[in-house]
Amino acid sequence: MNCTDNYSRLVRELNELIDSIDAKKTNESDVIAIVKYIMRNNPYVPCSIPPPEPDTPKAWMIARIAEIVSSSKTSDIVNLLRDPEFCHTEFKCGIGMAVLIPKNETPPLYKERYEMYFRQPFYIDNNYYWVYSNWKTPDTNKKRQLIEQWLHIFLTTDVTATSTPPTTTKFKSQEKIGKYVKSTFKDLIEKINRIELGNLQRADYSKTTFDLQYPFLKKVAFENQKSPLRYWAYPISILGASYFICSEWYEGHQKNNRPYYDEWLKKISG
């Protein structure tokens, strides 16, 4: 079927649609929205749809996906981009929204009337995914630069573990203390034994070791429990259970938790 045939079929389908609409109940903007949706998604007219403009979020994301699928680390990248907490922390995606959602799961398409995912799934690493679409232009939002920087570091450094964010220790040490604690702590979860896990839940140990006013970790008591005051929202899994991490970290003249944390980090990492 050529482009002319495709176009003719599209016209017939649009006419059938318009004939079925009650003009008294449907305004012009609704009709236009339906027509645009069919133009974007109709499988019979792929050659009649122009490619997206270079600076649109879709064109920009297509370029990023091309980088991902052409690399040797595609699976590792996909696993991280499916993690809502990671995507929220690293790329400022909406809370609970991953960059990639498997096609068989229903994406949160709308939030405050803004479409959050592209309506057409993308084929990546032998699966189809809904792809996060709320990428604003670089001069008004930092989301694009964040993911571009992240991809560059991941693709140009020797990072293979899916649980390890693609940043170096030196890069992390320059982060703000809260983000630094969250990212580095995730890297060494496997090195924490049950004795240290118990210590991290003690107020006295947390005060002596980190100069914290609250236990470093607080165990999740039941499913879907909201985080307690002064603890980050997303729990982390350690040795088969989930824990909230204390969020009360400071670095300043009056109080500086960073040296305490760095000392503990060296001891656990070594």
What does the pLDDT look like over 206-250, one tens digit per residue?
Answer: 999 999 999 999 999 888 888 889 999 888 899 989 999 999 998
- The angle formed by the CA atoms of residues 183, 184 and 185, to the nearest 5 degrees, is 95
- Residue 186 to residues 86, 190, 250, 256: CA-CA distances in angstroms? 11, 9, 19, 21
Mean pLDDT within 134-148: 68
117 in a structural domain:
yes
249 neighbors 255 (Cβ within 8 angstroms): no
Between 171 and 56, the higher pLDDT residue:
56
pLDDT at 218: 94
| Mean pLDDT of all residues belonging to the chain | 75
Query: Per DSSP, what are the bridge partners of residue 245?
Result: 217
- Provide the percentage of residues in the chain whose pLDDT is more than 90: 16
Mean pLDDT within 14-42: 58
Shared domain check, 64 and 40:
no
The pLDDT confidence band at residue 30, using thresholds 50, 70 and 90, is low
Shared domain check, 125 and 85:
yes
162 in a structural domain:
no
- Provide the percentage of residues in the chain whose pLDDT is more than 70: 66
Shared domain check, 175 and 150:
no
3-state class percentages of the chain: helix first, strand second, coil last, to nearest 5:
45, 10, 45
What does the pLDDT look like over 37-47, one tens digit per residue?
Answer: 555 555 544 44
Shared domain check, 66 and 43:
no
Shared domain check, 179 and 120:
no
Using the predicted structure, report yes or no on whether residue 138 has a pLDDT greater than 90.
no
Residue 253 DSSP class? S
Shared domain check, 63 and 116:
yes
Report d(CA 92, CA 160) in Å as an integer. Answer: 23
pLDDT at 261: 92
Tally of domains within the chain: 3
138 in a structural domain:
yes
95 neighbors 70 (Cβ within 8 angstroms): no
Shared domain check, 174 and 239:
yes
The pLDDT confidence band at residue 83, using thresholds 50, 70 and 90, is confident
42 neighbors 10 (Cβ within 8 angstroms): yes
In which domain, by residue range, is 23 found? 3-48
163 in a structural domain:
no
φ and ψ at residue 38, rounded to 5 degrees: -65, -40
Report d(CA 176, CA 247) in Å as an integer. Answer: 12
Residue 221 DSSP class? -
pLDDT at 198: 94
Nearest alpha-carbon partner for 160 in 236, 81, 76, 218: 76
Shared domain check, 130 and 39:
no
32 in a structural domain:
yes
228 neighbors 174 (Cβ within 8 angstroms): no
What does the pLDDT look like over 157-173, one tens digit per residue?
Answer: 665 434 444 443 444 44
Shared domain check, 122 and 187:
no
pLDDT at 169: 42
Long-range contacts (CB closer than 8 Å, 24 or more residues apart) made by 110-115:
none
Shared domain check, 220 and 150:
no
What does the pLDDT look like over 2-17, one tens digit per residue?
Answer: 455 555 666 666 666 6
Between 166 and 152, the higher pLDDT residue:
152
Shared domain check, 131 and 40:
no
Mean pLDDT within 57-66: 81
pLDDT at 19: 60
Query: Per DSSP, what are the bridge partners of residue 114?
Result: 111
